[in-house]
C-alpha cells in the first residue's frame, strides 16, 4: 500500500530493532499493515500477535498471513484498552506496536497500561500517531493526540522514551521502553 499521506510500517518497524525469535504484539492491528514486516523480521522462531476488536479485520489479517506463508502470526480478538483485555500473558512480549490507534482510544491510559502489562522488563513500545488533522484523512482536529500529550501519557504509564523519529509527513514516532 503506497499512500503518500500515511506512515510506512516497514520503515517504522526498522526503528524497533527487531530480531529473530522476538514476540511482538500489534495492538489495534486494523488491516494488518504491520503484520507482514513484523512477521518477516521475527522469523520462524518468533511470534506476532495481531490484536483487534473488529473481528472482520482479524479474518483479513489471517488470510494475508496465510497468503504470504507466514505461520508465525496469531490473530487475537481483544479489548486493548483494558488490563487483561488482550489475553496475552503478563510480561511475555518483547515489543508492542501501537500505530494510528492512540487518537481513537477512549481509554488512553488503559491502552498504555495493557501494553505495559504484556511487555517484559526492557521491552520496547513503538508509538506512531497523527501529528495533525487534514482534509478527510486521519482524525478530526479535536481527536489528534499531540506528541507532547503522548509523551505525558507514556510517562504517566511508566514508559521511558528512547528516541523520537520521523514517521512520515503527517505522523510522529516514538520508541519507548518498559524499565
Question: What residues does each domain of the chain span?
Answer: 9-177
Homologous superfamily in CATH for domain 9-177: Vaccinia Virus protein VP39 (3.40.50.150)
pLDDT reported for residue 3: 43
CA 177 vs. chain centroid, Å, equals 13
Element (H, E) at 65: helix 55-67
Mean pLDDT computed over every residue of the chain: 94
Residue 135: Cβ-neighbour burial (10 angstroms; 0-12, 13-18, 19+): exposed
26: left (phi over 0), alpha (psi -120 to 50) or beta: beta
pLDDT reported for residue 23: 98
> Rounded to the nearest 5°, which phi and psi values hold at 170?
-120, 10
- 5, pLDDT greater than 60: no
Q: Do residues 57 and 63 touch, judged by C-beta distance below 8 A?
A: no
Measured between alpha carbons, how far is 175 from 114 in angstroms, rounded to an integer? Answer: 17
Cα three-residue angle 59-44-126, rounded to 5 degrees: 70
- pLDDT per residue as tens digits for the range 119-135: 999 999 999 999 987 76
Per-residue pLDDT band for 22 (boundaries 50, 70, 90) equals very high
Among candidates 6, 86, 73, which has minimal Cα distance to 36? Answer: 73
Measured between alpha carbons, how far is 171 from 173 in angstroms, rounded to an integer? Answer: 7
Q: Do residues 49 and 86 touch, judged by C-beta distance below 8 A?
A: yes
Per-residue pLDDT band for 177 (boundaries 50, 70, 90) equals very high
Amino acid at each position: 500500500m503506497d499512500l503518500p499521506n500515511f506512515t510506512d510500517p516497514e520503515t517504522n518497524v526498522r526503528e524497533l530493532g527487531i530480531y529473530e525469535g522476538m514476540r511482538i504484539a500489534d495492538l489495534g492491528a486494523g488491516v494488518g499493515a504491520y503484520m507482514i514486516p513484523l512477521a518477516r523480521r521475527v522469523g520462524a522462531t518468533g511470534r506476532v500477535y495481531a490484536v483487534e476488536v473488529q473481528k472482520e479485520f482479524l479474518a483479513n489479517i489471517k488470510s494475508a498471513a496465510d497468503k504470504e506463508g507466514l505461520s508465525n502470526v496469531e490473530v487475537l480478538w481483544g479489548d486493548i484498552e483494558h488490563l487483561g483485555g488482550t489475553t496475552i500473558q503478563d510480561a511475555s512480549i518483547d515489543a508492542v506496536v501501537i500505530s494510528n490507534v492512540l487518537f481513537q482510544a477512549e481509554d488512553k491510559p488503559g491502552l498504555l497500561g495493557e501494553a505495559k502489562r504484556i511487555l517484559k522488563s526492557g521491552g520496547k513500545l513503538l508509538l506512531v500517531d497523527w501529528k495533525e488533522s487534514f482534509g478527510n484523512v486521519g482524525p478530526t482536529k479535536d481527536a489528534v493526540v499531540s506528541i507532547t500529550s503522548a509523551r505525558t501519557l507514556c510517562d504517566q504509564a511508566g514508559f521511558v522514551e528512547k528516541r523520537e523519529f520521523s514517521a512520515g509527513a503527517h505522523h510522529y514516532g516514538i520508541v519507548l521502553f518498559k524499565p
